[in-house]
Structure 1
C-alpha cells in the first residue's frame, strides 16, 4: 500500500501565521514590516470603535485607532477578522448582546472589505461553551485564544485556536530557530500573536524586526492568514480516496498537496487523480 501523508501548499511541511488585535495606528508600521518579509497576518478589528474619536491611555502611551478611510488599503493582502463590535468580554454579557457584538461586527467588516468574514479573536481572551454555540450559529469558523503552548501543533478545535507564542515570549527566537531548523514528519504551524501598540509601550520594535527578518522569505515555509490555513486544512480533510488508494478526488475549490511514497503530489481543484 502507498504511504500517504498530508502537506501544505507546494509540498511544504511548515506554515507560519500572525494575529494582531484592535486596529490601532501602530499597525501601519507593523504591516510595512510584514509586507517587507512577505508575511501574511490576520488583523482583528472592532468595527464599532474603528475610527472613533478619542483614545485610551496605557502607561502614558496614547493608543489611537486607525481611521475608517485608511483600513481598506492598510490591510490589503491580509485578513480582517472579528474582535467584537465594542470589544466586550463575551462571558460577561447576556447572550442577546453577545449575538449583537459578533454578528454586527461581522456585517460591518463584510460591508467594508467586500468578502465573507469568518474568523475572530476573543476580546480579553474570554470564552466558554455558550460562546462556542453562538459563534457556530453565526458562521464564525475559528477564534483565537491567548493560551500559548510554545509548539507547532495544528488546532484540534478551531473555536479554541491556541497560538504558539506572543511576540514578547521570553524565548521567542529560540522557538523560531526550533521551527526553522527542525524537521517535521507531519505538518508544523507557528502562530504568533500580539498588539502592535505593545512595541511602542515596551520600546522593542527591534524585536519584531529581527524576528520577521529571520522567519520570512523562506522557500520551505507557507505564509498564510488564519482563514487560509483553516480553508486549506478543511480541503485536505475532504480529499476522497478509493478503497484501494489508487485514486484520489479533490472536491474543493483549491489545490491540495499530499506526499506519496516520499514525493509531493498536487491534486488540483475538482481533480480525480490516479496516484498508484
Structure 2
C-alpha cells in the first residue's frame, strides 16, 4: 500500500501565506500597493454600509482596487453579532453579502466577525447563506490549518512579533506539513501608528519565495476543503477528486496532482520502499 500524505499546496508548494484586513478604509489603497509590489495576496473584509463614507473606499473603486485579491464580508454596519436578534444578524450578513457581490460581480464566500464577536451557534447557519469561512481575532501564534473554517483563527495580528513569526515560518521543520502563515489587521493601524515600514519590510522579506503559495482566504479554504473531500479505495491505489480544482497529495512523499472529476490510479510503490 502506498503511503499517502497531505503536505502540498497547489503546484506542490509546501507553505502558504495569506493576509486578512478589515473595514475597507482608504488606507487599503496604500496597503494593496505594497502587497502588489511584492506579490503578496490577501482578503479585504469590507463594511458595505460604510462604503462612500468619509475615510472609507468608494463603491466605484471596489472592483478595480481589490483586483487580484479577495473581497469578503464584515457585516453591513459592523455591529456586534451577539447584541443583535437573530433576524438582525441575518439581515446584516445577507445585505452585506448582496451589496458586495453586486460590486464585485461574483459570489462571495467569506467574512470576518466584527470585533471578533463570533457565536458558535451561527456556524451551522453561515453555510446556508453561502458563507464557507469566517475569521476570528483569536490569534494562535501557530501555522496550523483550521479544523473548522467557520471559526478560523489567524496566526497573528501584524503588531504581534510579525518579523519573528515570518522567520519561524520560513524555517519550519520538514515534518510540519502544510504550514500557513495567516496575518490579520486593519490598514488604518499603519497610519495611526506611523509604521508603514513594518508591512513594507514584511512583504519584502516574505515575497518571492518559490516554496510559498500566496493566496487569498477563499482560495485556501477551497483548496483544503477539496483535499478533505478526496475519496479513496481501500488499498489507496485509486483516488477520486469530486471538486472542480486540482489538488496535490504525497505518494511516498512525492507530489502527485489529482485532477478534478476523474478516478485517478496512483503511482505504484517504488521498488525498495518500505511497506510499513
TM-score of the superposed pair, with normalisation by structure 1: 0.93
- Return the match for 2:133 from 126, 139, 142: 142
The CA distance in 1 between the partners of 2:256 and 2:125, in whole Å, is 39
Shift in Å, 1:207? 0.3
Kept in 1, the 8 Å contact 2:24–2:44? The answer is: yes
Q: Which residue of 2 aligns with 1:23?
A: 24
The CA distance in 1 between the partners of 2:46 and 2:155, in whole Å, is 21
| More deviation, 133-142/119-128 | 133-142
- Return the match for 2:143 from 146, 152, 156: 152
2:191 is the counterpart of 1:206: no
Shift in Å, 1:66? 0.6
2:109 is the counterpart of 1:118: yes
Q: Which residue of 2 aligns with 1:3?
A: 3
Matched residue SS, 1:153: coil
| More deviation, 125-134/188-197 | 125-134
Shift in Å, 1:93? 1.0
The CA distance in 2 between the partners of 1:217 and 1:106, in whole Å, is 33
| More deviation, 152-161/124-133 | 124-133
Query: Residue deviations 1:67-94, cap 9 Å, x none?
Result: 1111111000111001010111101111
Matched residue SS, 1:131: helix
Q: Which residue of 2 aligns with 1:182?
A: 172
Query: Residue deviations 1:12-38, cap 9 Å, x none?
Result: 221110100111111011001111111
1:1-276 paired onto structure 2 within 5 Å: 1-6=1-6, 7-52=8-53, 54=54, 64-169=55-160, 171-185=161-175, 186-275=177-266, 276=268
Shift in Å, 1:271? 2.9
Kept in 2, the 8 Å contact 1:99–1:134? The answer is: no
Kept in 1, the 8 Å contact 2:62–2:103? The answer is: no
Matched residue SS, 2:255: strand
The CA distance in 2 between the partners of 1:137 and 1:247, in whole Å, is 32
Kept in 2, the 8 Å contact 1:2–1:261? The answer is: yes
RMSD over equivalenced CA pairs, Å: 1.1
Shift in Å, 1:122? 0.6
Matched residue SS, 2:167: helix
The CA distance in 1 between the partners of 2:122 and 2:174, in whole Å, is 34
Shift in Å, 1:174? 1.3
Kept in 2, the 8 Å contact 1:166–1:193? The answer is: yes
Kept in 2, the 8 Å contact 1:91–1:131? The answer is: no
Unpaired runs of 5+ residues, structure 2, are: 269-276
Shift in Å, 1:236? 0.6
Kept in 2, the 8 Å contact 1:13–1:184? The answer is: no
Matched residue SS, 1:193: strand
Q: Which residue of 2 aligns with 1:60?
A: none
Shift in Å, 1:220? 0.2
Shift in Å, 1:160? 1.0
TM-score of the superposed pair, with normalisation by structure 2: 0.93
Shift in Å, 1:45? 0.3
The CA distance in 2 between the partners of 1:270 and 1:68, in whole Å, is 38
Kept in 1, the 8 Å contact 2:16–2:181? The answer is: yes
Shift in Å, 1:120? 0.3
Shift in Å, 1:262? 2.1
Residues 1:251 and 1:134: Cα distance change in structure 2 (over 3 Å): closer
Shift in Å, 1:182? 1.6
